[in-house]
Structure 1
Amino acid sequence: MDDIVKAALKKWPNVPDCYGWLALDARGDWYMRDDRIQAAGPFPQVKGSRITHDKLKEFIHRNYEHDEQGAWFFQNGPQRVYLQLEATPLVFGVHKHGEGERARFAVESHTGKLAQEIRCSWLDEHGRLFLDTDLGFGVVRSLDMDAAADAVEAGVWAPEEMPFAEMPVRFNYCLNPQPVAKA
């Protein structure tokens, strides 16, 4: 987390949390979802405005965390912005280096971090590939399925089947966090 964000949290500790205004799709793209977009429909059917500004994306990546309940958020200064997830909290790119038996596969999260360990892999009922890594749990981007398929064919990963609906519970993440009702 950025030092400026930590300082803002100390200076303004009681800023209310924000819900529904930021989303992450299964390709690793961030979307702003203002009131009009939220009223138009749920994410990902209605995505909103794709964030393309590199410095803003880098700031989000550095301040991207999760709470104890598995709800992921972007700490925007003193405000915690809970986000909606299309599939998983991480989105992975797979990069193939070399050919044949010498081929190696690198896995990089949408935040730019390289996974050092792939623990397990799964396929859901839609044919999407998911990886449990030392960085956390995530879906492989559709753009990288050729390289991922090569890794499966080479025996690097041996995915098991798991229904998508079971994944958030098993890997402790929330697709659409909501504010807790006050008593």
Structure 2
Amino acid sequence: MDVRKCVDLLNTNEYNAEKLSKELGIPAKKFRRTLTNIGVKYQNKGDIGWKFEGDDEKVLERDIQEFIGTNSNKNQNGKNVNEQKPSGLSKQDVLSVLGLNEEELETLKMIHKEKQNNMDLLEKYKIYEDLQAKVPVDEEVVRRSYNFSRSTIEEFESFVKNYRVPKESIVELAIKNLVEQYNKL
């Protein structure tokens, strides 16, 4: 289906982007992104509807599928929007300067990515260090009940689920931190 027909159908009451993309067998988000990249935009002020705002009207005669690739980041000329401009050095030049082969470079990239992921995890789970340092394990336990606002509890539940730590330990750590903070005053 050509782009012009897609725009015309989108401007009828029968079709919206989701319905048309489903008929074309394209994910809705990818379909909308592709339309935007080739110059078709939805206007919700003034003359409401889908309008072509690109430079080259020949795009309207081309099939929409031409612009849908694995990444759908093609502009109205069919070129990749996110394509990076080549730098002064080729990959081979960089490898020779570093004295590496491609396999070694890929290994270094993998190690760097793994290290970054580990650092992110350590930062995220720093709470475990605080739990071990501040929350006593073998003291007598006393049971209490308190009332909290719904939003506070929902935020707390989400936090506990994200960090996968026992609720009781988190509450005890929070109380200890609060007491320490105000005892310093």
Shorter-chain TM range is: under 0.3
Q: Which has the higher helix share?
A: 2
Q: Select the structure with the greater relative contact order (CA < 8 A; seq sep ≥ 6).
A: 1
Q: Return the TM-score normalized by structure 1.
A: 0.18
